[in-house]
């Protein structure tokens, strides 16, 4: 069993001051694969103090040197891809092939995009021709607490660290205690990049401990959090007394609007997108809302596609889905599947229990419900598992109303051959992102939501902007 009981503080690996042991469970086997230490208040204070001490020097470092540091991080990251993939596959259940391509690959893409964005970013600029002696300076926010989830670990760590670092902030990273091993490898990557001591610090801990301590700490200037809406509320309340900036990327209940004129692969694409990462994505298209003329065929096709999705251990090669992350999540998903049945939805694929042949491990059957109505629990709650709900609409206006009938607002999807319709819907759907006809967002496109899906944006220039203060200067002397 792996033991990872140290924290990375002030440029060195240190023993916890008041840590306690915590087992990391392999969701494919339900057995412990590692033991880490969870930090206490003294560990949090030490990490924040290191970040605070390093802040003046790092803020004053020329942006060209900060970009060079990020380029060293990028180079070091690429030398550890297999280690990262195996860590994430073991600790959170991503199938190894998917871990290599998508989980690790996300980090490569984000770091590369931040380097390009930082080189083009306007760190200083005139206010305008009308005010020749006014200047705008983009300055670091300060000490940033970065609290990341277990479902896309490297995606979220690199989105936060890359932007915070190049913007001149110092930081304390608290990864999820469910998936800490990849984060500790990332700390080794940061160490290899030869950053000044204290710029990057890592303390393992849980939300109630280190997470709450960082959120309320007087010397933390910003919290960037990705996770559940419930936890986002608690962080916002904890941060309120110190009036620190809070950036939240929370849950979602994405609508996938499939019109009768959608391309022939639209339904299959939607099902497979939903099942990706075992449904554990905040931007998953979990509500497939289909025009009446195509509804029956879509239900039949979705069921057939889901029945062909295979489930297996994360360590096995192949294009299958793995387990969900832990017992709590497994039980929650099982309860919601049963609630869907009890509330009258028509089960057309999957259902309660583990897939055949898998008697141990947190495996869920790829599940599809048809004839779902807007008032049903499975249409309203974020399930965070491989469970798809299919609803029917009769008009474009009804489709918009159904899609927006949710407290969430992260990602919505539109499948239609009608260009004018897609443009209309892009403006009417209440979400931070709208993806159409299977086309992914481009490099540097901002990721984030509205309503109960949070605030702020991550990725590219927009992600950097969330980690800077805009300082207005008058009486600027021309150089």
* Catalytic sites, residue numbers: 249, 282
Distance CA 370, CA 296 (A): 9
Distance CA 179, CA 382 (A): 21
Beta strand segments in 235-286, E: 245-249, 255-258
6: CB partners within 8 A, 6+ apart:
13, 14, 15, 16, 37
Beta strand segments in 168-321, E: 170-174, 200-202, 222-226, 245-249, 255-258, 287-291
Inter-residue contact 30 to 13 (CB < 8 Å): no
Question: What distances in angstroms separate CA 343 from CA 24, 40, 201, 393, 400, one per listed residue?
Answer: 36, 44, 48, 20, 24
H-type helices in 320-392, by residue range? 327-342, 377-380
- Residue 334: strand pairing partners: none
- Residue 258: strand pairing partners: 290, 415
**Chain centre distance of CA 202:** 18
Distance CA 423, CA 421 (A): 5
Closest CA relative to residue 418, chosen from 449, 396, 392 = 396
Query: Pseudo-torsion of CA 466, 160, 203, 104, nearest 10°?
Result: 170
Closest CA relative to residue 150, chosen from 197, 210, 91, 193 = 91
Inter-residue contact 5 to 19 (CB < 8 Å): yes
Concatenate the DSSP letters of all residues of 111-176 into one string. HHHHHHHHHH--SEEEEETTEEEEEEEEEE--EEEEE--SSSHHHHHHHHHHHHHHTT-EEEEE--
Cα angle vertex 384, ends 176, 436, to 5°?
110
Distance CA 52, CA 43 (A): 14
């Amino acid at each position: 069993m792996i033991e990872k009981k140290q924290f990375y503080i002030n440029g060195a690996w240190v023993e916890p001051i008041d840590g306690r042991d915590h087992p990391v469970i392999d969701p494919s086997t339900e057995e412990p694969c590692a033991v880490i230490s969870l930090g206490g208040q003294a560990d949090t204070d030490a990490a924040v103090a290191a970040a605070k001490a390093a802040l003046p020097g790092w803020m004053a470092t020329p942006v060209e040197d900060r970009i060079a540091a990020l380029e060293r991080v990028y180079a070091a990251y690429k030398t550890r891809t297999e280690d990262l993939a195996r860590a994430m596959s073991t600790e959170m259940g991503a199938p190894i092939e998917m871990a290599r391509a998508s989980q690790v690959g996300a980090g490569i893409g984000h770091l590369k995009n931040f380097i390009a964005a930082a080189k083009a970013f306007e760190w200083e600029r005139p206010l305008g021709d009308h005010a020749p002696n006014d200047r705008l300076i983009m300055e670091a926010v300060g000490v940033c607490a970065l609290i990341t989830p277990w479902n896309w670990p490297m995606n979220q760590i690199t989105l936060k660290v890359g932007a915070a670092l190049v913007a001149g902030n110092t930081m304390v990273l608290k990864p999820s205690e469910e998936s800490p091993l990849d984060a500790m490898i990332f700390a080794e990557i940061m160490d290899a990049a030869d950053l000044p001591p204290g710029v990057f610090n890592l303390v393992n801990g849980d939300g109630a401990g280190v997470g709450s301590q960082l959120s309320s700490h007087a010397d933390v200037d910003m919290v960037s959090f990705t996770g559940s809406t419930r936890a986002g509320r608690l962080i916002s309340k904890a941060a309120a007394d110190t009036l620190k900036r809070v950036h939240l990327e929370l849950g979602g209940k994405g609508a996938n609007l499939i019109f009768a004129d959608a391309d022939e692969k639209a339904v299959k694409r939607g099902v497979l997108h939903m099942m990706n990462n075992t449904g554990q994505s905040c931007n998953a298209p979990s509500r497939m809302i289909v025009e009446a003329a195509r509804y029956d065929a879509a239900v039949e096709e979705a069921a057939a596609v889901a029945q062909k999705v295979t489930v297996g251990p994360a360590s096995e090669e192949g294009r299958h889905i793995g387990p969900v992350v832990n017992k709590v999540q497994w039980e929650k998903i099982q309860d919601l599947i049963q609630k869907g049945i009890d509330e009258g939805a028509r089960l057309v694929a999957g259902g309660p229990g583990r897939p055949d042949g898998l008697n141990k491990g947190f495996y869920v059957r790829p599940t599809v419900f048809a004839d779902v109505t807007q008032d049903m629990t499975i249409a309203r709650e974020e399930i965070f598992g491989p469970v798809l709900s299919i609803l029917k609409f009769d008009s474009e206006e009804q489709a918009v109303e159904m899609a927006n009938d949710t407290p969430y607002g992260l990602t919505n999807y539109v499948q239609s051959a009608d260009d004018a319709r897609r443009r209309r819907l892009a403006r009417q759907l209440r979400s931070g992102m709208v993806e159409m006809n299977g086309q992914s967002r481009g490099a540097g496109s901002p990721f984030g939501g509205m309503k109960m899906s949070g605030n702020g944006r991550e990725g590219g220039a927009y992600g950097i902007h969330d980690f800077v203060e805009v300082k207005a200067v008058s009486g600027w002397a021309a150089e």
